Amino acid sequence: MPQLSIPARFNGPPSSGNGGYSCGAVAAFIDGVARVRLHSPPPLDKPLPVYVATDGSVEVFDGELLVASGFPASLQLDVPPAPSLEQARRGRENFPVLDDHLYGTCFVCGNNRPHADGLALYPGPVDDWSLLACTWQPAPDLADDAGMVLPEIVWSALDCPGCYAAMGDAMQPVLLGELRASLLAPVPAAEELIVYAWPLGREGRKLYGGVAIANQSGVVLACSHTTWITLKS
């Protein structure tokens, strides 16, 4: 039976896997566009059995506890034009939780990690909360032999920016519930990239955000629809 394991480097909250990375690890068992739902916090450094059904769906367990489920999917997303590199740099300067990050060691957006150990994605409003952006320079050790960012790392980058876009200026504790992603083209690690996000509405405790990764020419290389669950106080 196949297994997956989330290395401790790729944490979100301190003791569990980053949502995007975890979803990407599950999506590796699915061809094409995938939709992955997290049912419980993915444990770190623990082999987890993966059950692949004949319809292409996937379930990942920790003992009897369902951790994640994944499905072949489609993604119909109205992706806005990418901001410029200069605009993305300006957005990075407006990162809303620079001084009070709830998960400061998050692999994707934590600002309390050693240099180049995480993705250092700090998206902030470009002009207002309708579009957030930041720059991203992937570390070389996150790429394959051809210099392209590993798929599970692309999934990681398609995660947290959607959180800030979905919340807007009302920061609150949330966790990733579901990530639907489409990897459209290889993502080069040697190039400074543009990551941007926009709000997609809310429904009760669910918040929605879109995320895209583009090159400096504005070509979208990957995109996602993210669903966030607000934590009960």
* Confidence at residue 139, expressed as pLDDT on a 0 to 100 scale: 96
pLDDT category at 103 given cuts 50, 70, 90 is: confident
Number of Cα atoms under 13 Å in the Cβ half of residue 24: 24
Contact 60, 69 (CB under 8 A): yes
- Chain segment 5-32, per-residue pLDDT in tens: 999 999 999 999 999 999 999 999 999 9
pLDDT value at 119 more than 80 = yes
Domain of 52, CATH number, reads 3.10.129.10
Same domain, 55 and 164: no
Same domain, 16 and 102: no
Q: What percent of the chain has pLDDT over 70?
A: 100
Same domain, 41 and 93: no
Average pLDDT over residues 47-67: 97
Q: DSSP letters of 6-18?
A: B-GGGBSSTTSB-
Domain span including residue 215: 85-230
* Confidence at residue 233, expressed as pLDDT on a 0 to 100 scale: 67
More confident site: 208 or 170: 208
Contact 179, 159 (CB under 8 A): yes
Report field, pTM of the whole predicted structure over 0.85? yes
- Whether residue 189 is contained in a domain is answered as yes
* Confidence at residue 181, expressed as pLDDT on a 0 to 100 scale: 98
Average pLDDT over residues 46-75: 98
pLDDT category at 205 given cuts 50, 70, 90 is: very high
**Cα 41 to Cα 106: distance, rounded to the nearest angstrom:** 14
Which burial class, exposed, middle or buried, applies to 211 when counting CB atoms under 10 A from its CB (0-12, 13-18, 19+)? buried
pLDDT category at 52 given cuts 50, 70, 90 is: very high
- Chain segment 151-196, per-residue pLDDT in tens: 999 999 999 999 999 999 988 888 899 999 999 999 999 999 999 9
- Whether residue 78 is contained in a domain is answered as no
Q: What is the mean pLDDT of the chain?
A: 96
Place of tokens 């504005």: 218
Largest CA distance in the chain: 49
* Confidence at residue 141, expressed as pLDDT on a 0 to 100 scale: 97
Same domain, 225 and 154: yes
Task: Provide the domain count of the chain.
Answer: 2
Residue type, 156: S
More confident site: 174 or 150: 150
- Angstrom distances, CA of residue 77 to CA of 133, 196, 199, 230: 18, 14, 12, 23
Q: Among 15, 48, 72, where does a domain finish?
A: 72
**Cα 134 to Cα 50: distance, rounded to the nearest angstrom:** 34
Average pLDDT over residues 101-122: 93
Same domain, 111 and 205: yes
pLDDT value at 62 more than 80 = yes
* Confidence at residue 121, expressed as pLDDT on a 0 to 100 scale: 98
- Angstrom distances, CA of residue 226 to CA of 21, 36, 180: 13, 10, 6
